[in-house]
Amino acid sequence: MRQASIERNTTETRIRVAVDLDGTGRYSVRTGVGFLDHMLEQLSRHSLIDLDLEAEGDLHIDAHHTTEDCGIAIGQAVAQALGDRKGITRYGQALIPMDETLSRVALDLSNRPYLVWKVAFSQGKLGTMDTELFREWFQAFAQAAGVTLHVETLYGGNNHHIIESCFKALARALREAIAIDPRKADAVPSTKGTLGGSL
């Protein structure tokens, strides 16, 4: 049962998240930030990771803390659900078109967090959300989940399409990487016998 629940409470946010890596893409997401809800719903639906998330944050200031802390909490839950990462495929990649936009994600569930972010926006907001916060979410998720994560938009013009294709690409890459490889379900996918630490 690759499931986990996390509660993260600070002076800035209160977050409860539960994930099931072997789910069907069922979600219930309430962050108080409409566009972030939409992206996290896409993440769940296309990764097939069940996601329940409730967040209360200091939105009277802005959406920064809520966005970042949701990335941390989801990442922590995914890491906990993965456990020792035994049997996973480990690597995943996806190339996702959305109308005029094409984005790709490649990732390694290495337990060595790193983000490469090559995504640009032509406007400062989508809905009420600052577009600069999307990088903060991906950085927080990669760090907390222990993912080497490369995200790149190859081309595109519509900012909504750009970020949605990134979340969908992350979802599909995760779906591939967390899958159990039946040929090596009893082994950690590393010659070291463990994931994390030095290369």
Place of tokens 């719903």: 41
Residue 185 has pLDDT above 80, yes or no: no
Pair of tokens at residue 176: 């591939």
Q: Is 119 helix (H, G, I), strand (E, B) or coil?
A: coil
What is the Cα–Cα distance from 53 to 38, expressed in whole angstroms? 12
What is the Cα–Cα distance from 166 to 135, expressed in whole angstroms? 11
Tell me the whole-structure pTM to 2 decimals: 0.94
Pair of tokens at residue 88: 């996973």
Proportion of the chain above pLDDT 70, given as a percent: 94
Query: What pLDDT, on a 0 to 100 scale, did the predictor assign at position 16?
Result: 98
Rounded to a whole number of angstroms, the CA Rg of the chain reads 16
Q: Decide: 175 and 24 in contact? Cβ < 8 Å.
A: no
Residue 197 has pLDDT above 60, yes or no: no
What is the Cα–Cα distance from 62 to 67, expressed in whole angstroms? 10
Residue 199 has pLDDT above 50, yes or no: no
> Average per-residue pLDDT in the chain?
94
Place of tokens 């996290």: 40
What is the average pLDDT across 147-153?
98
| Kind plus residue range of the DSSP H or E element containing 174 | helix 159-178
Residue 194 has pLDDT above 80, yes or no: no
Q: Domains, the chain, ranges and CATH?
A: 3-184 (3.30.230.40)
Query: What pLDDT, on a 0 to 100 scale, did the predictor assign at position 198?
Result: 46
pLDDT digits (tens, 9 = 90+) for 73-112: 999 999 999 999 988 999 999 999 999 999 999 999 999 9
pLDDT band at 192 (very low <50, low <70, confident <90, very high): low
pLDDT band at 191 (very low <50, low <70, confident <90, very high): low
